[in-house]
Structure 1
Amino acid sequence: MSKQQTTIKLTQTALMAALCYIGFQFLRFDVPIGMEKTAIHFGNTFCVLGALLLGGLWGGLAGAVGMTIADLTSDYVTYAPKTFLLKLCIGLIVGFVAHKIAKLSKEHEKPYIIRWTVISAVAGMVFNVVADPVVGYFYKRYLLGMEDNLAKSLAKITAATTFVNALTSIIIASLLYVAVRPALMKAGLYVRVDEER
């Protein structure tokens, strides 16, 4: 990558991190569960979009940093380490499918781009739907010292909100990527993931 491309990539990563922060901090609907709570939010949408636009590592870091900062500045502060790990993994998975398997950075017909955009988003969100409640259970049970039955109940409820978050993220991130990709290419701001060194 040239110096100019590196600057563009860092700027876009910072922008995606800010969008992930906003998506969780300000576009969030808390779901109270007794003394605990979970949330329906749009942070994952921008994490997926970041991985589609920037590649797995950069998109994952944007999601991890943005949403971890959102946790640290909200009532979700105790979940910040779990958030960092899971959002980084979402980005890595989406980016791997989009750019290593489908090679979305290269020129393709629109139906191919749409199909692989959705497949990539689904891959990352399926991981999250499974991992978030499972990791959440172990995190609450063994790191936060929560009682076993309560941790299991919270994991089940979290699975429902995670599923809703996944569906909205797949739809919105896919639509945004398909719309934004050509505009970035036309403006010379689309840094191809396969050009990175």
Structure 2
Amino acid sequence: MKNKALQKTIFTGLCAAIIFVGISLFRIYLPAPTGRPFIHFGNTFAVISVLILGFRAGALAAMIGLGLFDILNGYAATSWLTIIEALILAAVVAFVFQKVHYKAHPHLYKLYLVSFSAGLIKIVTSWLTGVIESMMAGTQLHVAMINAFVSLPAATINSIVTFIIVPLIYIALEKTLLKRIWIN
């Protein structure tokens, strides 16, 4: 039992590090009236972490990886929003993954349903975060809502990438690494 708990803790830390690196190494900034949005792979790796580790450990990895990036890269004032977004993303992914009753291949469409829901919730939470950030800067609500909407291209691109890549990476992991080291 202790080995299983230790293994899960190690994988949680590893996933948090991969999420952090997924944001740090590949960033394409996009102009926006709210925040400094950019394209990255952090959300993709956060979703994969939840699929591999389950809700609790996957959410923890996502919150640490995404939150730590924000704290160390000039987004500390709004890192709490990122952490809440990561928690909501993990909850939606875990819920949909459980509800589709995913079993290994040939149920690829179920993984795409999970990644679609992840992308959709990311767009919604990014918009809400943009509204809050804009209002924190002193903008009125109706202007904040418009600014947040105009700032969504990066979140939308990240969501599309997540939709396409998550099922492919998860199936590759399922056929290789997870077959030998299943931690759920």
Task: Give me the TM-score of the superposition, normalised by structure 2.
Answer: 0.89
Q: Assess, with a 3 A threshold, how the Cα gap between structure 1 residues 44 and 36 changes in structure 2: closer, same or farther.
A: closer
Q: Residues 38 and 161 of structure 1 are in contact (CA less than 8 Å); yes or no, is this contact kept in structure 2?
A: yes
CA distance in 2, matches of 1:116, 1:129: 20
CA RMSD of aligned residues (A): 1.9
Superposed displacement of residue 62, structure 1: 0.9
Match of 1:191 in 2: 183
CA distance in 2, matches of 1:24, 1:145: 25
Match of 2:173 in 1: 180
Q: Assess, with a 3 A threshold, how the Cα gap between structure 1 residues 33 and 179 changes in structure 2: closer, same or farther.
A: same
CA distance in 2, matches of 1:185, 1:42: 21
Matches within 5 A, 1:16-165: 16-33=15-32, 36-98=35-97, 100-104=98-102, 108-112=103-107, 114-141=108-135, 144-148=136-140, 151-165=144-158
Q: Assess, with a 3 A threshold, how the Cα gap between structure 1 residues 22 and 111 changes in structure 2: closer, same or farther.
A: same
Superposed displacement of residue 24, structure 1: 1.6
Superposed displacement of residue 135, structure 1: 3.1
Task: Give me the TM-score of the superposition, normalised by structure 1.
Answer: 0.84
Question: Which secondary structure state, in structure 2, belongs to the residue aligned with residue 110 of structure 1?
Answer: coil
Superposed displacement of residue 151, structure 1: 2.8
Q: What 5-or-longer segments of structure 1 have no aligned partner?
A: 193-197
CA distance in 2, matches of 1:35, 1:124: 22
Question: Which secondary structure state, in structure 1, belongs to the residue aligned with residue 12 of structure 2?
Answer: helix
Superposed displacement of residue 150, structure 1: 5.5
Letter in 2 for 1:95: A
Letter in 2 for 1:147: T
Question: Which secondary structure state, in structure 1, belongs to the residue aligned with residue 30 of structure 2?
Answer: strand
Superposed displacement of residue 74, structure 1: 0.7
Letter in 2 for 1:134: L
Paired residues in the alignment total: 183
Q: Residues 57 and 95 of structure 1 are in contact (CA less than 8 Å); yes or no, is this contact kept in structure 2?
A: no
CA distance in 1, matches of 2:155, 2:35: 15
Letter in 1 for 2:166: A
CA distance in 1, matches of 2:159, 2:68: 21
